[in-house]
Structure 1
Amino acid sequence: MREFKDPDTGRTIRQLTDSGNNVHLYFTENAFDSSKPEIYFRSDRDSGHDLAPHENPHYQLYRMNYETGETVRLTDEEQSVTRVTKTPDSELVVYLAGNKVRKLDTRTGEITTLYEEHGNYGLLAPSISANRRYVGFCRNEKVIKGVGANYSGFKDGFYRSKDGRITFAKIDGSGHFDVKQDTHWVGHFQFSPVDPTLAMYCHEGPWNLVNQRVWVLDAVSREVRPCFRQDADDAIGHEFWTQDGLIFLDNRGPGHDGTVTSDRTQAVAQHVAINENSMRPFVALMHPDGQEVRRIDMPFYCNHYHSNPDNTLLVGDDLDHLVLIDIASEEAKLEVLLSHGTSWHTQESHCHPTFSWDGKRILYASDQGGRVQLYLVEL
C-alpha cells in the first residue's frame, strides 16, 4: 500500500493494491465488512497472465485488511468470478463463477453450489435476503449482441432480450425456483436490507429507451409494481437500497442513456452531450410502495452515486473527479473530493465509489496506469 496527496484537493488517498487488476463489489453492494477493517474484492493477481481489464482477466475472490494490507485468497475457481455479494458481517459471501451460483461460508471456508445453469441463460446480480434464507439473481436468455468495452452491445441486448427471470436459490442448497418471468432484459436485482419479502430489479438497457426502469417485487405474492412511474422525459437508473430501506434513483432527463465511454461520450445517445440537459436532473428517495419520500434537484450529475448511512451525503463519480454532495438541506451542495483518473473503458474500471457501513471511508477503483487498482479515502 502507499499513500499520496490528491493534486487537486490535497486529500490523502491510500492505494490498496498494485498487482494485477483489482475490482471491488458493484456499487449496489458493499465491499466493506461492517465491524472489521476488511474489504472483499476480485483480482487476477494469481492468474499467471498480465491482461488489461478489457481482455477478460481470470478473477478470484480475495479479502484484505485495509489497515495492515494482509490479503487472503478465498477461491480457486476454474471459471472467472464475475459478480459478488455478501452479508454485512461477511459471514456469507455469494458469487457467480461461470454458470454457477456459489456460496462461501467464511467461518469454515466451505464453498457450495446453490444453482447451476444448464439452459440458454446468463446469470447476473446475486443478492442475499435479509433473513439469509435465499439468494436471488437474474437469469437472462443469451442473445447475439456486441462484445467488448464501452457498453458494446448495450442497445442490442435491450432490444433482443425477451426472456428475463428472477430466480431464488435456498441458502442451504436445498433447491431453487423462478419467482418472476419478465419480457425484458432484467438486472440490478437487490433484496431489501430490512425486509426479506421485498426486492427490486430493473429493466436493463439505455435509460432513454427503457419505459419503466425500476420495479419492486413482493417475494410472497410474486407481484411487481413500478417504483417511480416514468413519463416520456424521464431517464432513470443506478437504483440501490439505502441502509434504512428506501430506494435511491437517478433521473437525468431526455436523451441520456446512463453511460459514459472512454471517448467521454455516451454509448447510445451520442447526439446529446454528457452534461447537456433539457430538464433539471434530480435524484430521489422512494418508499418501496412507490411513494416519493424526497426529491433533490441536481444542477450537475454523476455516473454513479452512493449514500452515507443517514442519507445526508452522497459520493459520486463525474468524468474526472469524485465529489461529495451534501443533500441534508433543500439545495444540494457539491465539494470536489479527488481526481480519480479512470478511463471508463470497462465496467471494471468504473469508479463505483461506495461508503463504508459507518460512512467514514470511501472505496473506489481506477485504471490510471493501465490496470484497475483500489483506493481508499478517510473522511
Structure 2
Amino acid sequence: MIARRTVLGLAAAGLAAPALARETSPSPLAPAPKDWIDPKTGHRIVRLSEEGGSKNLYFHQHGYTPRGDKLAITTPSGIALVDLRTFKLTPLPNTKGADLLFFPRASRRLYYSVTAPGEGQPADRPKTIHALDIDSGEAKVVAKLAQGGITSINADETLLLGVVTYGGKPLQPKTADDLKRFGQAEYAALGPDGKPLSFAKAKGVRMTERFETPTPMEIFTVDLKTGERKVVHASEKWLGHAQFSPTDPTLVMFCHEGPWHRVDRIWTIRADGSALAKIHTRTMNFEIAGHEFFSADGKWIWYDLQTPRGQVFWIAGHELVTGRKLYRRVEQNEWSVHYNVAPDGKLFAGDGGDADMVAHAPDGKWIYAFRPETIRDAATQFYTDDLITVDKMASERLVDMSAHDYRLEPNLTFTPDQKWIVFTSNMHGANHVYAVEVAKAGAQSRSNAL
C-alpha cells in the first residue's frame, strides 16, 4: 500500500493558452520541439511531455479531471499531471512502473494499477488498484485482483470494470523495446509464399489465430465499497474494449474482438449481467465496425464503420434511447485508426493512418478535425428515425503526421474545453505527448509569444 503523501503544485486552474516561446518548424531528426506552428496546417502544437517514451491514455479512457484543469499521462519516470493552463508537468512520486488507469468523471481521484513482480505475462499476475487524491496527496488501495486488469470505472464511482482471460497467450510476445516504441508487439508473420508480411497484415494473422482459439474470459465488476467481485459476462469468445457509460452507472459496452468482418462486434450489457444487446448488425459481406466509444453525454455510441472494408468509410452513431442510426461519410485519406468526439457532441477528430492500413490511404497521415454537414439536396423534411440518416464530414487537417510511425497509435482525445486535441506521436523520434490547438493560430496566439 502506498503511504499517505503530499503532491505539490496541483491547485486547480482554468484553461487558457500559455505564452510559450515559438520555435521554427521541426525536423524529425532534431530534438522534439516544445511549441510551434505546423507549416502545412497553420495550427499550433505544444509538446506536453518532457521525457521521450511518454504516452497518453487509450483513446476511450478518461484522463482529465472534472474541471478540466489537469491531464494525466505516463512517462518513463512514472505518472505525471499536465496543467492545461500553463502546460507545466508535475510528476507523481512513487508511481514509476504503475499503469495509469483513469480519472472518474466526477472526482479528482486518479486511479492506477501496480502489477506484482514475477514470472508470466503481466495480465496473469496479481494487481493492486490505487486511488490518489491529487489535491490532498492521500493515496489508498481500493481493490486487489488475482489476475486480469481494470479497464473502466462507472459514472458514480462505485464500480470498477475489468476483463480477465484464463489460460490465454499474447497475440505475439512483446519485448521491452517493442513496448517502449509502439505500446504493442512488433507483429511478424509469414505469408503463403513464405515471405514476411507487413506489420498490419502480420497483426491480422495473429488476430485471426487468437479469434479461432476459444479461451475462457470474463468481464467483471469490483464494488469499491465492499470489494465484491461479480461476473458481468463470461464467454470463450474474445472479449475486449470493456467500458462504462460516462453517465449511466450500470451500462457497460464491450466488443467481440477478432477479424472485424467475421464478428458482430459492438454490444452493451447491464452491470448485473442483464439486457445484453447488439448495437450494430452487419448487412453485407466484408462489412466491418469497431473502435467504439461513448459520447460524453452517454447518449450515443460512435464507431468506425466500413461498407465494405477498405472501400466506403463512415463515422457511425447509434443513439441509445431510440436506436436511431446516423452515418457520417469520411473519405479514404481521412480514415483514422481511432476517432473521437468533443464534449459538445458536435466536433469530431481522427488520427489518420498510413498506406499499409485498412484504407490504404495515399495521403492519410494527418490529425483531422471533422465537422458534420448535411448531404447536398437532402430532403430532410421526409427523414424518419427508423431509417439510417446519412451525412458527411467536412475535414480540416490539424497536424502533419508524415514522419509518424503508425505502429504507435496516436490515441487522440479532446480536452474538456475542446480547444485542444491531445495525442501521442513519434514524429520527432522518441514518443511524446502533444496537444494541437483546434482553432487555427492567429494574430492573438502569435502575440502571446512576443
Q: Same fold (TM over 0.5)?
A: yes
- Counting matched residue pairs gives 335
Candidates 131, 136, 143, aligned match of 1:104: 131
Q: Which has the larger radius of gyration?
A: 2
For 2:127, give the aligned amino acid. Answer: K
Q: Does 1:116 align with 2:144?
A: yes
Displacement of 1:310 after TM fit? 2.7
**CA, structure 1 residues 27+184, in 2 after alignment: closer, same or farther (shift >3 Å)?**
same
Candidates 276, 280, 299, aligned match of 1:224: 276
Displacement of 1:63 after TM fit? 1.1
**CA, structure 1 residues 154+122, in 2 after alignment: closer, same or farther (shift >3 Å)?**
farther
For 2:345, give the aligned amino acid. Answer: N
The question of whether the paired residues in 1 share the 8 Å contact of 2:207 and 2:259 is answered with yes
Higher strand share: 1
User: Which residue is equivalent to 1:6?
Assistant: 38
Instruction: Tell me how far apart the structure 1 counterparts of residues 398 and 57 of structure 2 sit (CA, whole Å).
Output: 21
Instruction: Tell me how far apart the structure 2 counterparts of residues 205 and 75 of structure 1 sit (CA, whole Å).
Output: 39
The question of whether the paired residues in 2 share the 8 Å contact of 1:216 and 1:288 is answered with no
Q: Does 1:367 align with 2:392?
A: no
Q: Does 1:94 align with 2:111?
A: yes
**CA, structure 1 residues 182+101, in 2 after alignment: closer, same or farther (shift >3 Å)?**
farther
Higher helix share: 2
**CA, structure 1 residues 221+30, in 2 after alignment: closer, same or farther (shift >3 Å)?**
closer
Gaps of 5+ in 2: 1-19, 21-33, 116-125, 175-184, 188-202, 354-364, 375-390, 439-450
User: Which residue is equivalent to 1:314?
Assistant: 348
User: Which residue is equivalent to 1:212?
Assistant: 264
The question of whether the paired residues in 2 share the 8 Å contact of 1:128 and 1:136 is answered with yes
User: Which residue is equivalent to 1:56?
Assistant: none
Instruction: Tell me how far apart the structure 1 counterparts of residues 148 and 234 of structure 2 sit (CA, whole Å).
Output: 14
User: Which residue is equivalent to 2:328?
Assistant: 296
Instruction: Tell me how far apart the structure 1 counterparts of residues 69 and 247 of structure 2 sit (CA, whole Å).
Output: 24
The question of whether the paired residues in 2 share the 8 Å contact of 1:39 and 1:65 is answered with yes
For 2:400, give the aligned amino acid. Answer: S
Displacement of 1:83 after TM fit? 5.0
Candidates 320, 332, 340, aligned match of 2:393: 332
Displacement of 1:290 after TM fit? 7.9
User: Which residue is equivalent to 1:133?
Assistant: 158
Matches within 5 A, 1:1-379: 2-44=34-76, 46=77, 60-74=78-92, 76-77=94-95, 80-98=97-115, 99-106=126-133, 107-118=135-146, 121-123=147-149, 126-144=151-169, 145-148=171-174, 149-151=185-187, 152=203, 153-172=206-225, 174-209=227-262, 211-231=263-283, 232-245=285-298, 246-254=300-308, 256=309, 276-277=310-311, 280-288=312-320, 291-300=323-332, 301-319=335-353, 320-329=365-374, 330-340=391-401, 341-345=403-407, 349-379=408-438
Instruction: Tell me how far apart the structure 2 counterparts of residues 184 and 243 of structure 1 sit (CA, whole Å).
Output: 29
Q: Residue deviations 1:209-256, cap 9 Å, x none?
A: 3x11111011235341111122333211110000121111111244x4
TM-score between the two structures when normalised by the length of structure 2: 0.69
Instruction: Tell me how far apart the structure 2 counterparts of residues 173 and 113 of structure 1 sit (CA, whole Å).
Output: 13
Instruction: Tell me how far apart the structure 2 counterparts of residues 237 and 117 of structure 1 sit (CA, whole Å).
Output: 28
Displacement of 1:295 after TM fit? 1.6
Instruction: Tell me how far apart the structure 2 counterparts of residues 95 and 160 of structure 1 sit (CA, whole Å).
Output: 31
For 1:370, give the aligned amino acid. Answer: G
Instruction: Tell me how far apart the structure 2 counterparts of residues 83 and 63 of structure 1 sit (CA, whole Å).
Output: 11
Instruction: Tell me how far apart the structure 2 counterparts of residues 183 and 73 of structure 1 sit (CA, whole Å).
Output: 41
**CA, structure 1 residues 84+7, in 2 after alignment: closer, same or farther (shift >3 Å)?**
same
Instruction: Tell me how far apart the structure 1 counterparts of residues 418 and 373 of structure 2 sit (CA, whole Å).
Output: 15
For 1:130, give the aligned amino acid. Answer: A
The question of whether the paired residues in 2 share the 8 Å contact of 1:86 and 1:127 is answered with no
**CA, structure 1 residues 142+339, in 2 after alignment: closer, same or farther (shift >3 Å)?**
farther
Gaps of 5+ in 1: 47-59, 257-275
For 1:122, give the aligned amino acid. Answer: G
**CA, structure 1 residues 22+173, in 2 after alignment: closer, same or farther (shift >3 Å)?**
farther
Q: Residue deviations 1:14-36, cap 9 Å, x none?
A: 11123131111111023233324
**CA, structure 1 residues 13+72, in 2 after alignment: closer, same or farther (shift >3 Å)?**
same
Match of 2:234, SS?
Answer: strand
Q: Residue deviations 1:296-318, cap 9 Å, x none?
A: 12233211100112322211011
TM-score between the two structures when normalised by the length of structure 1: 0.81
Instruction: Tell me how far apart the structure 2 counterparts of residues 170 and 101 of structure 1 sit (CA, whole Å).
Output: 14
Moved more, 173-182 or 211-220: 173-182
